[in-house]
């Protein structure tokens, strides 16, 4: 696997760190008869459950199915595990053996890949839902701390922006492009008291992921968590990216000659018509009354933007 593949996967992992709060209600009437765990859960240590199937069968016999299940190859999983091992490891006590770091990471990745509830994961993995609800947020936090500084870093030098612009020109035939910007709704089940707050125009409840990607689909900026009622343009207007563009604190290169011409143009982020038109943010022409040149421009811009979706 080359460096581009690793960077693309790692940036995607960081962006997928969306966790749900889990609350475990204990049955007070049964406290006196409570055991360490239920018998069918305890059989996990004897080789039962999805986690054992992953480690004992898919990992060596069917790597493609392993990747399909966790969304990471064995090599990618080992890379991530080596980074996180010390942060998510728990010491063995005389009371009972803790969940291994391998199992914690695999269960967390399955949770992120599918959005399954902790209870559903309990039945497939034979790890109690209260235990899962404790270690999943910890693993996600460790992933963010280790990967975010390297794989989700917004460029801040002219050389970095120019490298991205060259890649856009080589791959998508759009000059002076330093990123593609768009928003995506992430559906979820909202708190009962806040259902209307997250209700969007599609008739679902969601939060919005506003993301900037480079020419190779790697995230260079994300804004996550605004309720789904707000438009992409409204989210951008209130984002740190908009403030950075207005303050010119990202060190975007000054206008330069377009390839093969003596015409100068600014370096721009491309987006759809939901966003405002700014010096460094380019959107398509309105669809009415387009001439040949503006129609070609819209096609090129749409290709640079929408092929990333």
What values do phi and psi take at 210, rounded to 5? Answer: -100, 120
In this predicted model, what pLDDT tens digit does every residue of 185-226 receive, in sequence order? Answer: 999 888 888 888 999 988 999 999 999 999 999 999 999 989
Q: Which of the residue ranges 20-29, 56-65, 202-211, 240-249 would you say has the lowest mean pLDDT? A: 20-29
In this predicted model, what pLDDT tens digit does every residue of 34-60 receive, in sequence order? Answer: 444 566 555 555 556 777 778 878 888
pTM, two decimal places: 0.75
Enumerate the domain spans of the chain: 3-150, 158-306
Tell me the pLDDT band of 305, cut-offs 50, 70 and 90.
confident
b vs e for 243-269, b when ≥16 Cβ sit within 10 Å of the residue's Cβ? ebbeeeebebbeeeeeeeeeeeebbbb
Predicted confidence at residue 219, as pLDDT, reads 94
Predicted confidence at residue 191, as pLDDT, reads 84
Burial classification of residue 85, based on how many CB atoms lie within 10 Å of its CB (0-12 exposed, 13-18 middle, 19 or more buried): middle
């Amino acid at each position: 696997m080359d460096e581009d593949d690793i960077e693309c996967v790692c940036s995607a992992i960081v962006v997928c760190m969306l966790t749900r709060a889990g609350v475990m209600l204990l049955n007070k009437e049964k406290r006196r008869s409570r055991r360490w765990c239920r018998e069918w859960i305890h059989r996990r240590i004897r080789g039962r459950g999805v986690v054992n199937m992953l480690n004992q069968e898919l990992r060596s016999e069917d790597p493609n199915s392993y990747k399909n299940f966790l969304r990471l190859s064995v090599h990618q999983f080992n890379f991530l595990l080596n980074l996180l091992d010390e942060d998510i490891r728990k010491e063995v006590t005389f009371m009972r053996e803790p969940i291994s770091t391998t199992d914690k990471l695999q269960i967390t990745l399955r949770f992120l890949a599918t959005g399954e509830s902790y209870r559903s994961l309990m039945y497939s993995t034979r790890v109690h839902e209260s235990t899962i609800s404790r270690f999943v947020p910890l693993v996600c936090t460790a992933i963010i701390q280790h990967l975010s500084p390297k794989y989700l870093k917004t460029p801040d030098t002219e050389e970095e922006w120019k490298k991205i612009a060259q890649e856009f020109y080589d791959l998508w035939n759009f000059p002076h492009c330093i990123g593609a910007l768009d928003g995506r709704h992430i559906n979820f089940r909202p708190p009962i008291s806040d259902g209307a707050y997250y209700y969007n125009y599609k008739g679902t409840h969601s939060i919005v992921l506003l993301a900037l990607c480079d020419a190779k689909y790697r995230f260079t900026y994300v804004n996550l968590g605004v309720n789904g009622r707000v438009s992409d343009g409204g989210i951008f207007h209130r984002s740190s990216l908009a403030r950075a563009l207005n303050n010119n604190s990202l060190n975007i290169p000054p206008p330069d000659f377009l390839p093969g011409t003596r015409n100068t143009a600014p370096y721009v982020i491309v987006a759809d018509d939901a966003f405002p038109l700014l010096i460094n943010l380019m959107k398509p022409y309105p669809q009415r009354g387009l001439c040949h040149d503006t129609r070609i421009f819209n096609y090129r811009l749409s290709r640079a933007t929408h092929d990333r979706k």
